[in-house]
Amino acid sequence: QENSSNYGYQDSGVKASFLYPFILNSLAFITNKLGLSTIFWNSLVIFSASLCAIVSLFLIDKSANLIFEKRTANIASWIFVLCPYTIFYCISGGITIYITLSVSFFIYLISKSNIFSSTKFGNKIPLTMVFLLINILFISSLRPTGSVFSIATIFCLGISIYTKSLRNHIKISNKG
């Protein structure tokens, strides 16, 4: 018999993150309080996963548009829509579609920000960092591997921002 507090990780020494079970338990609490059946709970789980997929599709399209061009964005969108795993994770309500949402939001934030290139339409770095922090907390709370992604993200962005700041500092000191 599986220990429900480990959420399928059993005795591997790895503890599950809290957010995905919290989402499922919240949906169960709502359906129980309203006196609705488990069929309605299943529908809510599928609906929330499908909503994540739709938002992910939007973010993938916008990111590909910003990084490449419209044709590439259309191809990326069609690949996401036609991928059998996208459909499977929506129908099953699996955690992976929430991870996809977080990663596609991360790519959108980076492509829209002024971290790597300065444009007048790009988001300022402090605003981007606030949204990235929220996204990193979200993905770290979903599954343990999300923490690895978050640490790598923070490390790479820290190096990028530091080198950009250092270049600006050197440029200013050379002028003076």
H helices of the chain, where?
Answer: 19-33, 38-67, 70-82, 84-92, 96-112, 125-142, 144-175
pTM (two decimals): 0.78
Q: How many CA atoms lie within 13 A of 161 on its CB side?
A: 15
- Taking 50 as the threshold, does the pLDDT of residue 44 lie above it? yes
pLDDT digit string, tens, across residues 94-124 = 888 999 999 999 999 888 887 666 666 656 7
Cα–Cα distance, 52 to 64 (Å, whole number): 18
The rounded percent of the chain whose pLDDT value lies above 70 is: 85
